[in-house]
Each structure stands twice: as structure tokens, then as C-alpha cells.
Amino acid sequence: MTSFRRYAALTALLVVASGCGPEAPAPDGSAKTDQPTTYHHYVAMGDSYSAAPGVPPAPPDPCMRSRANYPSQVALRLDTRLEDRTCSAATIAHLSTPQGAGVGPQLDGLKPSTDLVTLSIGANPTLTSGWFWGCGSVAASNPQGSPCKDAMQTASGDLNITAIETEQKELAATVAEIHRRSPDARLVLVGYPQIFPTSGSCPERLPVAAADLPYADQVLRALNKMIEEVAKADGADYLDVYSATEGHNICAEDPWIQGKDTEEGVALFYHPRAAEQKAVADLLIDLLR
């Protein structure tokens, strides 16, 4: 994917959750109370699906963070100090390396005293490039077919799935580093919402070939499954956002994900709207009780 600077210049940053089951019990196994556990230092890390570019209020910021993104909402409701390191167009590499001028490694926000960490990462760069830019560019060649899926198939397998498998090792290493820096922190890996319809299409909002939409959803589910597996192997929490946002994809009657056109005061194109961010905040508060 192109550099962060290009994304910022174009204000076209994109990133792209699997099983919202019963509410989690308290970490010690006791009955859940009505009030969340007290946290004192919360560090939020991730890409634009946690930065929420374009969701108001959105002050000038190189990472295009909204002050109403889900980390801000959770911090307010928990009455905890927030260090918001989320940044649009971030990749797993940007957790440990600078993303651009004035945007340092996200992991640098961690301290030994940090007691809550959320992380939503993995869609950039390969997947978002394929889903939106790549798939959109070939849609006209076969509007009812699956030109994007076809292009991703090689003798060694699907390029998107291979990218996810590679990222799994990188994400696991990042999780280990989070624990090294903040050994007492509760870690929540946050999945991605439902972005694509599971049936039908809406080319006016999502110009992807009709038969490529189920493929895009399949890859998204694979990404969420990978994130969940990393969380499970580590003993961290996994927050399923996909299930909670079903029926609110880009093509839905009540979409929580913006379509191809940026809507001022709503969201940057292909990014979560305020309703999606509130839903994630609600899920997190519920999990942290």
C-alpha cells in the first residue's frame, strides 16, 4: 500500500470480528457487576476503524482521529486517562515503527502502569488495497462476475489469505511486546465490523463486482478469525464486532459503514460512522464489567 503521507493527502484512509456470544464473566470468575472495573491508564492502538476519520468532532490531526471514536467514548464512561494512539492507514508495522512526521510508534504509548489496552489492526495494507482499490478497479470488466477473486488466485493459494497467515505471526509478536511493556494490562483485541453485504449489491455505494462481494466478506471473516485465534492463544480478550454490526453493512438500509463517497460531518469514505463506534464502545464497556 502507498505511504501514510499519500493517504493523508488524499484523506482516503482505509482499514478494515466473528461471534458476539454471551457477556463475559468477570476475570476472576465471579458474577458480573453493574459497574465496569476501574482502570487508570488506557492505551488504544489501531488503524482507522478505531480512529474513525470524519466522525465529528474531528479536529485537525495527522491520524484523523475523531474525538468521538470508541476509545474516547470508553475512556469517558470509565473515567480513565486515555492515550489514543490509533491512526488511520496504520499497519502492524506501525505499532513498532513511526508512521510519519509526528506520528511515532503506537507501542510507545504503553507504560508499566498501563492497565487497559485495546488493539484493532490487520486490515492494512494488503486487504484494504485489494478490497476497495483493486476490486473496484476491475469491477467494470465483469460486473456480475468475480474478477477480483479470480485475480487473487495463484498456484500457491489465495493472496489475501496468505497475507492474513503472514500477519498472524506479526500480530502474535506484537501482543507479546504489549505484555512485556505493560505486564499488568488487560488486553482486548478488537475485530472488524460487517462491511460487505452477504447478499445483493449496491454499486452506487460499493462499486465492486456482484460475485466479488461474498469473497470480500469471506476474507473479512478470515481476518477476524485470525485476530480471534491470536487473542485465544495469548489468553487475551477478543471483541467480536462483526456479529454486533450484522445488517448494518455498506449496502444496508441503515448503514454503519460509509460508502464510496465521503460525507462531511458523517464519515470518511469506506469508514465507520458514529453508530458503529458507539456500538463498539457499548460492547467494550459490557466486556469490561
The answer to whether the CB of 70 falls within 8 A of the CB of 55 is no
From 41, 94, 248, 271, active-site residue: 271
The answer to whether the CB of 34 falls within 8 A of the CB of 241 is no
Look up residue 102 and give its three cell numbers: 509526528
Alpha carbons 247 and 195: distance in angstroms, whole number = 9
Q: Is 120 a catalytic residue?
A: no
From 18, 48, 72, 146, active-site residue: 48
Neighbours of 85 (CB within 10 A): 28
Look up residue 46 and give its three cell numbers: 489501531
Q: Is 94 a catalytic residue?
A: no
Give residues with Cβ within 8 angstroms of 184, minimum separation 6. 112, 113, 114, 115
Give residues with Cβ within 8 angstroms of 154, minimum separation 6. none
Three-state secondary-structure class, residue 81: strand
Look up residue 210 and give its three cell numbers: 456482484
Q: Which of 87, 15, 20, 3 is nearest to 242 (CA)?
A: 20
**Parallel, antiparallel or unpaired: strands 157-158 and 153-154:** antiparallel
**Parallel, antiparallel or unpaired: strands 41-46 and 81-84:** parallel
Q: Is 58 exposed, middle or buried (0-12, 13-18, 19+ CB in 10 A)?
A: buried
**Residues belonging to the active site:** 48, 271
